[in-house]
């Protein structure tokens, strides 16, 4: 049954991906395109769609893992300030010319930021080993404000190139997508997802609580740290590919939990695939409805995601993931 559902999800993803290649402000026929159209497909639309799928996968997967480790249905890399932390360190790295890791410099600095914020939010949100859901959210919101302010400061100080990238990181924009981003993006996303899926038992046990995790033979601290690393890898990948896009990590696990259940072994890959399809679709919508203007995907996901967030907040049982 699950295989069938995952297959349907993958088919949906493939259809959305193909749609995003051939549809848009200019509709290109898949059965006969001229050289200019081929150039649009290969140089612009294909890298952009691949980047959208990778980012969406990273965000959907990261959301599924975060909601589990933090035992909080409102967790999402964007809401908890992890994305903005990653953007901030990446922007700082870029502006100070920090290229120690070569091609991987931006994702690596983003990863460091994401991991620091994840650990920080985790530390703020806990009291005597118990996670307090409201504290956790407020910690994320507070850190998010802080990082945003520092990013604004950098923005007002930065040069043209830095400015453009910093703007990108603040609002999320796929129009800068290009082929050169894709190899390292793929590596980071697959690495993050791989770690998360390989620790699915520990994640399920952590959802029951630290004491259950202990009783079932896991070290809660160690497993949580490993999973934080996987979330940070995925968030960093997504931020360095196309900036901060919110709410995919919130929405996808919820929809998938409803469709396929809560077992992390299935939920993580399903949320990732659904996230890929969703971002690819919102990007297609964003560049199609008002050409030549583009609505950044981050705005569309926020318009859908923020009301849902408020809806969840109103539900009495915040802890029920």
Binding site for other proteins (CB under 8 A): 201, 204-205, 207-209, 211-212, 214-219, 257, 261-263, 317, 319-321
User: Nearest distance from residue 275's CB to other proteins, in Å?
Assistant: 19
Of the pair 38, 214, the CB lying nearest other proteins is at: 214
User: Nearest distance from residue 212's CB to other proteins, in Å?
Assistant: 7
Query: 96 is written with which tokens?
Result: 């100070």
Q: Which residue has the tokens 């996670």?
A: 131
295 closest CA partner among 304, 306, 305, 284: 284
User: Nearest distance from residue 22's CB to other proteins, in Å?
Assistant: 38
Of the pair 132, 190, the CB lying nearest other proteins is at: 132
User: Nearest distance from residue 319's CB to other proteins, in Å?
Assistant: 6
206 closest CA partner among 224, 233, 225: 224
Of the pair 60, 185, the CB lying nearest other proteins is at: 60
Of the pair 31, 258, the CB lying nearest other proteins is at: 258
Q: Are 197 and 84 in contact (CB under 8 A)?
A: no
171 closest CA partner among 183, 163, 159, 179: 163
Of the pair 19, 261, the CB lying nearest other proteins is at: 261
Q: Are 218 and 205 in contact (CB under 8 A)?
A: yes
Q: Residue 246: exposed, middle, or buried by beta-carbon count in 10 A (0-12, 13-18, 19+)?
A: buried
User: Nearest distance from residue 199's CB to other proteins, in Å?
Assistant: 11
Q: Are 154 and 132 in contact (CB under 8 A)?
A: no
């Amino acid at each position: 049954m699950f295989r069938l559902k995952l297959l349907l999800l993958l088919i949906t993803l493939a259809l959305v991906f193909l749609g995003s290649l051939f549809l848009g402000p200019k509709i290109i026929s898949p059965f006969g395109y001229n050289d200019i159209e081929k150039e649009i497909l290969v140089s612009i639309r294909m890298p952009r769609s691949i980047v959208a799928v990778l980012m969406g996968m990273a965000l959907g997967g990261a959301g599924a893992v975060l909601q589990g480790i933090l035992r909080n249905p409102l967790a999402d890399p964007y809401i908890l300030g992890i994305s903005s932390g990653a953007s901030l360190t990446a922007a700082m790295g870029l502006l100070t010319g920090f290229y120690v890791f070569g091609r991987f410099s931006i994702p690596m600095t983003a990863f460091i930021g994401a991991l620091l914020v994840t650990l920080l939010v985790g530390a703020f949100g806990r009291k005597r080993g118990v996670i307090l859901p409201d504290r956790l959210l407020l910690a994320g919101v507070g850190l998010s404000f802080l990082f945003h302010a520092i990013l604004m400061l950098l923005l007002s100080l930065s040069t043209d190139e830095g400015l453009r990238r910093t703007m990108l990181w603040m609002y999320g924009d796929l129009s800068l997508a290009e082929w050169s981003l894709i190899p390292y993006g793929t590596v980071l996303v697959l690495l993050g997802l791989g770690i998360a899926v390989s620790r699915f038992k520990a994640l399920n046990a952590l959802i029951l609580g630290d004491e259950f995790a202990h009783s079932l033979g896991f070290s809660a601290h160690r497993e949580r740290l490993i999973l934080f690393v996987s979330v940070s890898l995925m968030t960093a990948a997504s931020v360095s590919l196309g900036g901060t896009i919110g709410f995919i990590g919130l929405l996808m696990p919820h929809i998938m939990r409803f469709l396929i259940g809560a077992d992390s072994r299935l939920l993580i890959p399903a949320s990732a695939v659904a996230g890929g399809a969703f971002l690819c679709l919102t990007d297609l919508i964003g560049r199609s409805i008002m050409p030549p203007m583009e609505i950044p995907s981050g705005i569309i996901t926020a318009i859908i995601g923020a009301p849902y967030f408020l809806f969840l907040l109103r539900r009495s049982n915040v802890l029920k993931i």
